[in-house]
């Protein structure tokens, strides 16, 4: 309710969550003042005047109050709450918290030419990266033999899913040595990097909590448990049509770039504790299925390094967006490759079918090799 010229009037939620700006409040106050010429002189509220200054101070305070009221009003509803207001709402009403971000970890392959090395690389001294600026640091000491290779564990320098790159993306040595090179396999990740949970994802988990309230477990209940058990899980597929016989349910999980056995164990323990007593539930990671292919690009006059970096980043985003058991179309690869400025043609190799269909428990991994050709 608010006081108007006709007494107390109802105030809609839309009015509460739409605060006025400082300038709007000033305009409204000046209009009210100008309607009282017998009280205020017409020149007394011009910019720089004492009354105008007082109006501006009051307007700033009023606008700040309305912003606070709007945040309080929006923070009381799941659809409109955001940021810390959403954190407070889901903690008090749904008993969940926002999932934190995490660092990508994995292994890269270090190779040394026969006439170079051997090289002893202490933990923290070897830094590798991608063409688009992502960097990873070694987490254990390794020795790269002359003419040989070794797997080196690395961790991303920052948290986030953007570091979950496809195979053949990590090719730069920021701590170079003669004859030493680096690359990564399609399944190089051991722990996927994760972003801090977005407001949209947090709202989805909060809504799924309602599915847990029943006496039995619905597909949404299993989905809610899997997403809440570990922040590395961002995809869940529920196989609930008796995949292994009557009373069986399979929960297939996947993360951006892969899921480790430790994550599967945590999710399994979380779900087994909550499942109905009569349900036979299995929790397991989706089976990675790698699409290895060449991609010819024609980008005359463009910066080759920039083009490669942007195409690889687009393919990484395409991989992350692929769902468990989904379908990747050849046209999607072409579209991702054509997005960078300067690319006039993109041709995936014959190994890429028109539709690359995954089995119900498979997840997509991409292992592209980019080739920039000279002619159209």
Instruction: Compute the mean pLDDT over every residue in the chain, rounded to the nearest whole number.
Output: 89
Provide the β-strand partners of residue 375.
Answer: none
Question: Listing from the earlier edge strand, what are the strands of the sheet with 362-372?
Answer: 345-348, 287-298, 362-372
Judge whether residue 171 has pLDDT over 90: yes
What b-and-e string marks burial along 193-216, b requiring 16 or more CB atoms within 10 Å of the CB? bbbebeeeebbebbebbebeeeee
More confident residue, 42 or 110: 110
Task: For the chain, give the secondary structure using H, E and C.
Answer: CEEECCEEECCCHHHHCCCCCHHHHHHHHHHHHHCCCCCCCCCCCCCCCHHHHHHHHHHHHHHHHHHHHHHHHHCCCCCCCCHHHHHHHHHHHCCCCCCCCECCEEEEEEEECCCCCCEEECCCCCEEEECCCCEEEECCCEEECCCCEEEEEEEECCCCHHHCCCCCCEEEECCCCCCEEEECCCCCEEECCECCCCHHHHHHHHHHHHHHCCCCCCHHHHHHHHHHHCCCCCEEEEECCCECECCEEEEEEECCCCCCHHHHHHHHHHHHHHCCCCCEEEEEECEEEEEEEEEEEECCCCCHHHHHHHHHHHHHHHHHHCCCCCEEEHHHHHHHHHCCCCCCEEEECCCCCCEEECCCCEEEEEEEEEEECCCC
Q: Are 194 and 227 contacting, i.e. CB atoms less than 8 angstroms apart? A: no
Angstrom distance (rounded) from CA 158 to CA 346: 32
Per residue in 272-290, pLDDT (tens digit) is 999 998 899 999 999 999 9
For residue 49, pLDDT beyond 90: no
Compute the distance between CA of residue 330 and CA of residue 356 in angstroms, rounded to an integer.
Answer: 8
List pLDDT tens digits, range 190-228: 888 999 999 999 999 999 888 887 766 889 999 999 999
Percent of the chain exceeding pLDDT 90 equals 63
In sequence order, what are the beta bridge partners of 144?
A: 119
CA gap 305, 289 in Å, rounded:
28
Mean pLDDT, residues 300-307 taken together: 90
Q: In which band, very low, low, confident or very high, does the pLDDT at 111 lie, cut at 50, 70 and 90?
A: very high
pLDDT in tens, 6-33: 555 566 666 677 888 888 988 888 888 7
Edge-to-edge strand list for the sheet holding 280-285: 235-239, 248-254, 280-285
- Residues 167-177 have a mean pLDDT of 93
Residue 8: per-residue pLDDT: 54
Neighbours of 373 (CB within 10 A): 12
Distances (CA, A) of 85 to 73, 148, 200: 10, 55, 13
Residue 114: predicted pLDDT: 92
Residue 248: its pLDDT value, please? Answer: 94
| Cis peptide preceding 360, ω within 30 of 0 | no
The Cβ of residue 295 has, within 10 Å, a number of other Cβ atoms equal to 22
Among 189, 170, 166, 158, smallest CA distance to 110 is for 170
Say whether pLDDT at 175 is over 50. yes
Summarize pLDDT for 237-269 with one digit per residue, the tens.
999 999 999 999 999 999 887 788 889 999 999
- Residue range 148-158: mean pLDDT, rounded: 97
- Give the residue among 234, 257, 375 at the shortest CA–CA distance from 316: 257
């Amino acid at each position: 309710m608010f006081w108007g010229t006709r007494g107390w009037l109802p105030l809609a939620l839309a009015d509460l969550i739409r605060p006025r700006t400082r300038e709007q409040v000033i305009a409204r106050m000046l209009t009210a003042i100008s309607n009282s010429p017998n009280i205020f002189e017409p020149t007394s509220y011009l910019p720089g005047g004492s009354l105008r200054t007082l109006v501006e101070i009051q307007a700033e305070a009023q606008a700040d109050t309305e912003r606070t009221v709007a945040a309080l009003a929006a923070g009381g509803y799941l659809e409109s709450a955001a940021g810390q207001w959403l954190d407070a709402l889901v903690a008090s009403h749904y008993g969940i918290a926002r999932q934190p971000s995490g660092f990508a970890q994995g292994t890269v392959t270090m190779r040394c030419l026969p006439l170079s090395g051997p090289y002893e690389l202490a933990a923290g001294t070897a830094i590798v990266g991608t063409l688009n600026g992502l960097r990873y640091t070694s987490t254990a000491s390794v020795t790269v033999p002359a003419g040989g290779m070794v797997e080196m564990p690395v961790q991303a320098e920052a948290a986030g899913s953007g570091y979950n790159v496809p195979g053949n993306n990590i090719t730069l040595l920021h701590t170079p040595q003669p004859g030493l090179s680096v690359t990564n396999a399609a399944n190089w990740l051991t722990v996927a990097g994760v972003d801090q949970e977005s407001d949209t994802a947090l709202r989805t988990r909060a809504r799924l909590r309602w599915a847990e309230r029943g006496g039995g477990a619905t597909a949404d209940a299993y989905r809610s448990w899997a997403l809440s058990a570990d922040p590395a899980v961002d995809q869940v597929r529920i196989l609930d049509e008796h995949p292994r016989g009557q009373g069986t349910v399979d929960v297939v999980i996947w993360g951006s770039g892969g899921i480790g056995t430790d994550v599967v164990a945590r999710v399994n323990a979380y779900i087994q504790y909550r499942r109905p007593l009569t349900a036979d539930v299995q929790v397991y990671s989706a089976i990675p299925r790698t699409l290895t292919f060449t991609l010819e690009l024609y980008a005359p006059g463009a910066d080759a390094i920039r083009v490669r970096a942007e195409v690889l980043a687009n393919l990484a985003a395409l991989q992350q967006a692929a769902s468990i058991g989904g379908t990747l179309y050849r046209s999607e690869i072409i579209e991702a490759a054509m997005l960078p400025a300067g690319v006039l043609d993109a041709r995936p190799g014959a190994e890429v079918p028109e539709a690359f269909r995954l089995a119900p428990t498979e997840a997509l991994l991409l292992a592209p090799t980019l080739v920039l050709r000279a002619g159209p």
